[in-house]
């Protein structure tokens, strides 16, 4: 059989001793991009033998002065015939860099192509005509480089021969473009006066620019750094998928920042679940030991069964990303239809996708002229800041903290329509409902109250563990049911086993726990039931939030049993465990319970029975208009 399994010789003829750097040359039309590229190819010895001489001869024969841009045109034609050099990725070498020049069409119409190309670059060269100065496309490209996260920008001021190599003109343009770029957070790595046509400043510091202290173009390219994997930042491993091809359950993804190894304690956001990395899986050799860093596509197994899904982010405890439903971002918009306030879009953050509503638009502007700022729409090829309300929690970082996880892409109708940088992550803000058309019940409120003898209510029993909330609630439930009512008992612990099973006991999770209880209870109340919530709910803020959610239907009932009494009862053994130190974060043993300031009712269980106290609640409900005056004996009224 004619097959060859090659030997595993590691010696590789293509191993490049120079770091590879991908650059994009941008700038206004006719400011000399092609001329500079032609000149660079020539001066770095990257042209095929005899090519230049041939082109010069052709120009002469046709009676046209030779232009460096002919070179690119000629290469383009040849490339189109499948010969020699590919102009979409021209390669050349500087003394210490292997440069790959990425083609990024400059025409404004094809901004999406410019962005697609430029997004792959490590660095950019922004070219400006010394005579024309900074133009709209110069500004637009500068702005987009910033939004694409390209921080290394060398500015080249070309056609200095047309302004007699005037240092003053160079200084003027330098100042203008520097201000523009620095305003965007991009500090030019160099500003270089050149004449691409004559060669000044490209590789040689000629006498005509003897006043220039900085580098030549080739020196500037030589100083650019390849985008480095962000190994020094906190770990971010966005989950791509969970694979169960065999008995392993492998969480797969690419490390976007930081590093990991087996044994690490991790937290999976946004849910905040804690686990340990059991193994780092690979193929064909597995498992692998040692640290793996940013840029690697990896697979890990965990030491416990957790529900994790695509879009979650694996991070280290203490340096996790925030979870949020609100983001502010600075974006560029590429879609034909403008982005309007109120628009419903799909947001992609790493591997997470979430529906979102644009709740505000700010500073929308054409990045070419930066005038006429709008606040309602972002037009095609314009930029702006937006506030997004997300339909679900996501894990995110501000761009300044993590360039990889701090950027997002917007999709409209399944097509990428824009993208940008996350400016801020507003954790904790309530989401604005999205895509929701509430459907009303077919029944009228009075139909329900006629049947139940009461209108809907949320009875919120708060108090220390062991204070008797559940016992009172059960007694009340029985009482209301006996008189034809429709009570529903929502016990905090019971709901934690299901609906709130993903929540822990951090202050944030406690808040979310309360919020969900309040939402469920309010929904029941709107449908005429009396929801009886029994939950410690130690935080006054959380209870205030519950009151806001349930509004008029809310009745706060403080079960004010003193702590010593509760501790003596200790029905669930919590106090004993807390004392023994095996139960941390337990409310009531510390001073973290915040008593209600103005409850609708206060109950003390030390002297009275649950049934008795339930009677007090009943009276309060009658007094505050929840219970109808007469028990609902409809038959008696006929």
Partner 1 sequence: MSDAIPGVNERLSTSRSGDLAPSMDHLDELEAQSIYILREAFARMKKLALLWSLGKDSNVMIWLARKAFFGKVPFPALHVDTGKKFPEMYAFRDQYAKEWGLDLRVDPCPPIDAVDPTLPPAARSAARKTEGLKLALAKYGFDGLIAGIRRDEEATRAKERVFSPRGIEGGWDVRDQPPEFWDHFNASPPQGAHLRIHPILHWTEADIWAYTQRENIPIISLYLSNNGKRYRSLGDSDITFPVASNAANIDEILTELNTTKVPERAGRALDHETEDAFERLRVSGYL
Size of residue set near partner 1 by CB under 8 A:
79
Among 215, 299, 463, 465, binds partner 1 (CB under 8 A): 299
Residues within window 73-102 making contact with partner 1, judged by CB under 8 A: 79-84, 86, 88-89
Strands (E), 492-637: 530-534, 554-559, 601-603
Site string for partner 1, 528-557 (x = CB under 8 A): ------------------------------
Min dist CB 89 to partner 1, Å, is 6
Min dist CB 244 to partner 1, Å, is 11
Residues within window 130-159 making contact with partner 1, judged by CB under 8 A: 148
Segment contacting partner 1 by CB under 8 A, of 201-209, 242-250, 540-548, 607-615: 242-250
Among 249, 310, 380, 577, binds partner 1 (CB under 8 A): 310
Among 112, 273, 363, 577, binds partner 1 (CB under 8 A): 112
* Residues 352, 395 contacting (CB under 8 angstroms): yes
Check binding of 48 to partner 1 (CB under 8 A): yes
Check binding of 248 to partner 1 (CB under 8 A): yes
Segment contacting partner 1 by CB under 8 A, of 2-10, 151-159, 450-458, 513-521: 2-10
- Closest residue by Cα to residue 356 from 384, 334, 388: 388
Among 296, 451, 479, 523, binds partner 1 (CB under 8 A): 296
Closer residue to partner 1, CB minimum distance, 63 or 290: 290
The sign of the dihedral angle between the CA atoms of 546, 551, 557, 558 is positive
Min dist CB 343 to partner 1, Å, is 18
**How many CA atoms lie less than 13 Å away from 40 in the CB half-sphere?**
29
Check binding of 5 to partner 1 (CB under 8 A): yes
Segment contacting partner 1 by CB under 8 A, of 168-176, 294-302, 471-479, 547-555: 294-302
Strands (E), 426-559: 457-462, 487-491, 530-534, 554-559
Closer residue to partner 1, CB minimum distance, 193 or 384: 384
Check binding of 50 to partner 1 (CB under 8 A): no
Closer residue to partner 1, CB minimum distance, 413 or 482: 413
**Four-point Cα dihedral 142, 145, 146, 150, nearest 10:** -140
Min dist CB 291 to partner 1, Å, is 4
Phi and psi at residue 82, to the nearest 5°? 85, 25
Check binding of 283 to partner 1 (CB under 8 A): yes
Site string for partner 1, 429-458 (x = CB under 8 A): ------------------------------
Q: What angle do CA 439, 445, 449 make, to 5 degrees?
A: 145
Structure tokens that stand for 346 in this block: 């799909």
Residues within window 407-426 making contact with partner 1, judged by CB under 8 A: 407, 409, 411, 413-416, 419
Min dist CB 419 to partner 1, Å, is 6
| 556 beta partners | 460
Among 10, 371, 437, 636, binds partner 1 (CB under 8 A): 10
Closer residue to partner 1, CB minimum distance, 126 or 250: 250
Check binding of 598 to partner 1 (CB under 8 A): no
Closer residue to partner 1, CB minimum distance, 100 or 431: 100
Residues within window 148-207 making contact with partner 1, judged by CB under 8 A: 148
Residues within window 331-370 making contact with partner 1, judged by CB under 8 A: 334, 348, 351
Cα–Cα distance list, 192 to 68, 103, 174, 488 (Å): 19, 22, 9, 75
Site string for partner 1, 471-500 (x = CB under 8 A): ------------------------------
Check binding of 107 to partner 1 (CB under 8 A): no
* Residues 551, 478 contacting (CB under 8 angstroms): no
Cα–Cα distance list, 113 to 87, 107, 109, 118, 318 (Å): 15, 9, 9, 8, 40
* Residues 210, 275 contacting (CB under 8 angstroms): no
Compute the distance between CA of residue 463 and CA of residue 447 in angstroms, rounded to an integer.
Answer: 34
Check binding of 273 to partner 1 (CB under 8 A): no
Check binding of 223 to partner 1 (CB under 8 A): no
Compute the distance between CA of residue 590 and CA of residue 576 in angstroms, rounded to an integer.
Answer: 13
Catalytic residue among 537, 539, 591, 628: 537
Closer residue to partner 1, CB minimum distance, 113 or 587: 113
* Residues 377, 361 contacting (CB under 8 angstroms): yes
- Closest residue by Cα to residue 172 from 204, 130, 116, 224: 130
| 152 beta partners | 123
Cβ partners under 8 Å of residue 149, min gap 6:
399, 403, 407, 421
537 is catalytic: yes
Check binding of 282 to partner 1 (CB under 8 A): yes
- Closest residue by Cα to residue 157 from 146, 172, 144: 172
Residues within window 313-332 making contact with partner 1, judged by CB under 8 A: none
Check binding of 116 to partner 1 (CB under 8 A): yes
| 411 beta partners | 346, 416
Check binding of 252 to partner 1 (CB under 8 A): yes
Check binding of 65 to partner 1 (CB under 8 A): no
Min dist CB 153 to partner 1, Å, is 18
Compute the distance between CA of residue 130 and CA of residue 195 in angstroms, rounded to an integer.
Answer: 9
Compute the distance between CA of residue 505 and CA of residue 8 in angstroms, rounded to an integer.
Answer: 54
The sign of the dihedral angle between the CA atoms of 617, 619, 624, 625 is positive
Among 54, 204, 241, 373, binds partner 1 (CB under 8 A): 241
Q: Is 106 left (phi over 0), alpha (psi -120 to 50) or beta?
A: alpha
Residues within window 13-32 making contact with partner 1, judged by CB under 8 A: 13-16, 20
Among 151, 205, 254, 483, binds partner 1 (CB under 8 A): 254
Compute the distance between CA of residue 221 and CA of residue 239 in angstroms, rounded to an integer.
Answer: 36
Catalytic amino acids?
Answer: 537
């Amino acid at each position: 059989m004619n097959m060859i399994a090659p030997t595993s010789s590691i010696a590789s003829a293509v191993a490049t001793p120079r770091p590879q750097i991908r650059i994009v040359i941008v700038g206004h039309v006719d400011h000399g991009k092609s001329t500079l590229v032609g000149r660079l190819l020539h001066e770095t010895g990257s042209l095929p033998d005899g090519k230049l001489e041939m082109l010069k001869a052709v120009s002469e024969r046709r009676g046209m002065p030779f232009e460096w841009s002919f070179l690119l045109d000629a290469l383009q034609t040849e490339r189109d015939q499948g010969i020699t050099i590919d102009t979409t990725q021209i390669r050349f070498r500087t003394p210490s860099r292997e440069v790959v020049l990425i083609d990024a069409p400059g025409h404004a119409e094809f901004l999406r192509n410019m962005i697609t190309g430029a997004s792959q670059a490590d660095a950019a060269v922004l070219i400006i005509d010394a005579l024309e100065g900074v133009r709209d496309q110069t500004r637009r490209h500068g702005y987009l480089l910033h939004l694409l996260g390209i921080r290394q920008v060398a500015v080249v001021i070309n056609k200095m021969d047309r302004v007699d190599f005037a240092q003053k003109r160079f200084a003027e343009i330098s100042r203008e473009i520097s201000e523009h770029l620095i305003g965007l957070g991009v500090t030019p790595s160099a500003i270089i006066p050149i004449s691409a046509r004559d060669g000044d400043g490209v590789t040689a510091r000629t006498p005509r620019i003897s006043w220039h202290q900085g580098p030549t173009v080739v020196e500037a390219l030589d100083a650019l750094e390849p985008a480095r994997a962000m190994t020094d930042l906190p770990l971010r491993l966005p989950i791509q998928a969970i694979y169960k091809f065999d008995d392993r359950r492998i969480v797969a993804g690419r490390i976007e920042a930081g590093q990991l190894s087996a044994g690490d304690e991790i937290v999976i956001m946004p849910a905040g679940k804690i686990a340990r990395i059991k193994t780092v899986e690979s193929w064909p050799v597995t498992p692998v030991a040692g640290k793996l860093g940013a840029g690697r596509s990896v697979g890990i197994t965990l030491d416990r069964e957790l529900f994790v899904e695509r879009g979650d982010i694996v991070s280290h405890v203490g340096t996790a990303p925030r979870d949020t439903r609100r983001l502010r971002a600075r974006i560029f918009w590429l879609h034909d239809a403008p982005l309007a306030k109120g628009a419903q879009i799909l947001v992609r953050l790493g591997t997470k996708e979430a529906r979102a509503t644009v709740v505000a638009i700010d500073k929308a502007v054409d990045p070419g002229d930066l005038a006429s700022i709008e606040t309602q729409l972002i037009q095609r090829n314009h930029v702006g800041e937006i506030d997004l309300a997300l339909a679900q929690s996501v894990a995110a970082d501000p761009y300044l903290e993590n360039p990889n996880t701090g950027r997002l892409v917007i999709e409209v109708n399944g097509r990428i329509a824009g993208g940008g940088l996350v400016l801020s992550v507003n954790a904790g803000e309530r989401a604005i409902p999205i895509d929701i058309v509430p459907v009303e019940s077919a029944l009228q409120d009075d139909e329900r109250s006629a049947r139940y003898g009461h209108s809907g209510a949320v009875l919120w029993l708060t108090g220390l563990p062991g204070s008797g909330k559940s016992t009172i609630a059960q007694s009340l439930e029985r009482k209301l049911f006996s008189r034809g009512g429709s009570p529903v008992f929502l016990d905090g612990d019971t709901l934690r086993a299901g609906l709130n099973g993903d929540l822990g006991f951090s202050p944030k999770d406690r808040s979310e726990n309360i919020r969900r209880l309040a939402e469920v209870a309010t929904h029941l109340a709107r449908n005429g039931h009396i929801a009886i919530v029994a939950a410690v709910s130690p935080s006054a803020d959380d209870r205030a939030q519950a009151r806001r959610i349930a509004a008029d239907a809310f009745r706060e009932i403080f079960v004010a049993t003193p702590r010593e009494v509760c501790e003596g009862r200790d029905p669930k053994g919590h106090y004993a465990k807390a004392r023994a130190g095996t139960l941390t974060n337990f409310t009531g043993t510390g001073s973290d319970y915040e008593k209600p300031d103005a409850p609708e009712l206060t109950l003390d269980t030390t002297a009275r029975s649950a049934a008795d106290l339930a009677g007090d609640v009943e009276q309060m409900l009658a007094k505050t208009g929840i219970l109808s005056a007469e028990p609902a004996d409809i038959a008696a009224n006929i």
